[in-house]
Amino acid sequence: MIRDHKLWTWHIAAGLLILCLLGLHMAIMHLDALLGIFNPAGGHPIDWQNVAARSQSLFFLVSYVLLLGAALFHGFYGLRNILFELDPAAPMKKSISWVLILIGLGLFIVGGWAAWTSFQGAIVA
């Protein structure tokens, strides 16, 4: 019971962190015509030169990894809550939790690897 209460508090805290970081990400990617921030090469935010420039930045490395972790936790914990409300039996609840943890960890490794490799590639270059 206490464990779930703590997880719920983390869920809310992660949501607030996502609000800031994803808000920034959305502003960079989708309000570019209005704001035009963090796109040094001009053009579209997903043009390689802009993507590479952001990948080279320590700020974006840290914020991407933080956003990745927070969003995966927030999303999969939210999904777990929705599935648990459908009232599955106890062994099924355990299986759901483990499957979601493993998928979340797998995605964190893939996303973290991409952020770190692009950052390192930029340093080597």
Partner 1 sequence: MPEIREHPNRLGIRGWLGGGRWGPDRYLYSLHRLTGLGLLTYFVLHILLTSSRALGQGAWEQSMARVSGPIFLVGEYLVFVAFAFHAINGVRLALAELGFGVGKPIEPIYPYKTVVDVQRPWIATVLVLTGILILVGALDFFVWH
Q: Which residue in the block uniquely carries the two structure tokens 């001009």?
A: 42
- Asked if 7 touches partner 1 (CB under 8 A), the answer is no
- Asked if 37 touches partner 1 (CB under 8 A), the answer is no
- Asked if 36 touches partner 1 (CB under 8 A), the answer is no
* Cβ neighbours, 10 Å, residue 68: 18
Residue 20 to residue 24: CA distance in whole angstroms: 6
Site string for partner 1, 42-61 (x = CB under 8 A): ----x-x--xx--x------
Residue 63 to residue 120: CA distance in whole angstroms: 16
Residue 10 to residue 107: CA distance in whole angstroms: 19
Task: Among 7, 102, 105, 110, indicate the residue that binds partner 1 (CB under 8 A).
Answer: 110
Q: Are 22 and 89 in contact (CB under 8 A)?
A: no
Task: Among 23, 40, 92, 99, indicate the residue that binds partner 1 (CB under 8 A).
Answer: 23
Provide the token pair at 111: 């996303």
Instruction: List contacts with partner 1 (CB under 8 A).
Output: 12, 15-16, 18-19, 22-23, 26, 30-34, 46, 48, 51-52, 55, 68, 71-72, 75-76, 78-79, 82, 85-87, 107, 110-111, 113-114, 117-118, 121
